[in-house]
Amino acid sequence: MQDEPEVLYPDPGLWTKTSLIQLFYGIMVNLTSVTFGIAFSFSSVMMPQLSKVDPKITTTMTEETLIVSVLPFSTMIGNVISGFLMDTYGRRMALILCEVPMIIGWILIGFATSPAELIFGRLIVGLGCGMGMIPPRAYVTEISLPNMRGVNGSFPSVGIALGVILQAIFGAFMKWPSLSFLNGLYSIILLFLGFIFPETPYFLLMTDTPEKTEMTLRKFRSIHYDVEAEMDTLLEFKSDNRLRRLRTKEQLQLLFTKSACKPFCTIVSYIIISQLVGVNLVLMWTIEMLHESKSSINPDAGNIALGFARLIVGIGTSFLMLKVGRRFLALVSSLGVFGAFLLFGIFIIYNTQPSAIPFVFFFAYIAFSSIGYYPLPMLLIFELSPLQIRGIVGGLGIATLNGTTFAVNAFYLPVRSLIGFANVILAFSILSLLGTFYVYFYLPETKDLTLQEIEEFYNERRPTLTSQRRIRSMQALSRQLGSAESRSLMRIKSKSFAR
């Protein structure tokens, strides 16, 4: 007699112990993501203070542009380094190593006495940020069941938003050298915290024994969860796809296969669109943009308020992903950014007096971008990447993000001088409208799918992005229900016959 298929769907609810364990690790690991918000928004605090704190540090427009934009430039190098480290030594070790350059960089910035020293310090911090951007996202993707993957996968954006808020709050009353040392202290704490995390089951599935994989998997599930059934699906996935740790040459060969290139190109296109609509640019130039738009709101207070808006919407989006698909959130985000900045650009053209209205438009932009443009590209790049080169593909994807961020930042001041601030805002609006069409026609829906199902779709072992786990579970439940009804009917007939 053939064994009944395991019932693996639906996943445990949000307030079950299994989900809360995943939530705990998702929050703890993404304390590293706070450093990215700190690093990227540090320039927004430092640049207005620069000459006031130390009159000896005088900067040209080129030097100011480099101080701001060198960080996303150096993160690209860190992204690539981290990808190879993560696929070779594991997600946990990559989390630990990323803090070292950040600590060094923050110390260099704190002691800087010239623009060149600031640029070099920012470059080192950016290297550490680049190394740290990938491991938290891969970690939470690989420890989470499908229903929690969206929640945990959007926490990096929440962490970044929290970092922005903390930098804005402390920057309002601290001088930038002291703030830099405080940032370095936070990275030191994270360095030691990294040693408490277990490795992910998916990495051990490639590199260690099934027993070690199952032992680690149990750390992310409650005692009531059917770990044996999940392990069966993981071992079947490993056998069917011949999973193992690849040598560098094999990783590069797999990188150029269709199963890697197709999802990579799909998500990288979305990543580029998200940066061309100003997601990270607005984050790094918030105070200056509030000045430029004639906002009557105090820039420091406005920066803090927008940071809170980013955080609150980010948390709300995390839990929305339990019920709402990725594509719907992406469409709401792109259309919302289009509408908010279209009206904002028109307003700037005709407005001549300081007003609170620009702050309202910035608030709307932050809210809509935090629903989709901010969290989804990074979540999807790790959902769609093949397991054996997830670190490398994720690294290249985030390197593309940071490269685009660097280019957008490098050209922002010259382009603004050439076409005006209002036309820059209108350009962001038009690009977001184009992004809406891209999302509608090309962005895949991955909600409720396991990582195995997604990977086997792109390596053409599955015909569609459909949850076979759900179908098999529903069939098993139907058979169990049918058998129970049959037994009940037989008992009734037996009793009638006895009478």
Which span out of 184-188, 309-313, 350-354 was modeled with the highest average pLDDT? 184-188
Residue 140: pLDDT over 90:
yes
Distance of CA 427 to the CA centre of its chain: 25
pLDDT number for residue 494: 40
Q: What is the pLDDT of residue 131?
A: 94
Any idea which of 93-107, 112-126, 162-176 has the lowest mean pLDDT? Answer: 162-176
- At 490, the pLDDT band (50, 70, 90 cuts) reads very low
Phi, psi of 355 (to 5 degrees): -155, 160
What pLDDT shows up at residue 448? Answer: 87
Segment 224-281, tens digit of pLDDT: 999 999 999 999 999 988 888 888 888 889 999 988 999 999 999 999 999 999 988 8
pLDDT beyond 70 at 365: yes
Cis status, amide bond into 10, omega within 30 of 0: yes
Distance CA 46, CA 42 (A): 6
Residue 242: the pLDDT is: 85
State the pLDDT at residue 91: 94
Can you give the pLDDT at residue 287?
Answer: 82
Report the alpha-carbon distance of residue 210 to residue 196 in Å, rounded. Answer: 22
Q: What tens digit of pLDDT does each residue of 371-420 get?
A: 999 899 989 999 999 999 999 999 999 889 888 888 888 889 899 999 99
* Percent of the chain predicted with pLDDT > 90: 58
493 pLDDT more than 70: no
What pLDDT is stored for residue 251 in this prediction? 87
User: Among 179-188, 298-307, 478-487, whose mean pLDDT is lowest?
Assistant: 478-487
| pLDDT confidence bin for 58, thresholds 50/70/90 | confident
> For 322-338, what is each residue's pLDDT tens digit?
889 999 999 999 999 99
pLDDT value for 491: 52
- For residues 28-40, average pLDDT: 92
- Write out the DSSP string of 396-464: HHHHHHHHHHHHHHHHHHHHHHHH-HHHHHHHHHHHHHHHHHHHHHHPPP-TT--HHHHHHHHTTSSSS
Residue 64 corresponds to which amino acid? E
Count other Cβ atoms within 10 Å, centred on residue 444.
17
Quick one: what percent of the chain has pLDDT higher than 70? 94
* Cα angle 45, 48, 50; round to 5: 95
Q: What is the pLDDT of residue 487?
A: 55
Q: What is the pLDDT of residues 422-468, one digit of tens each?
A: 999 999 999 999 999 999 999 999 998 999 999 989 988 888 888 77
**Higher confidence at residue 343 or residue 6?**
343
- The chain-wide mean pLDDT, for the chain, equals 88
Mean per-residue pLDDT, 130-157? 92
What pLDDT, on the 0 to 100 scale, is given for residue 484? 56
Distance (Å, rounded) from C-alpha 347 to C-alpha 131? Answer: 40
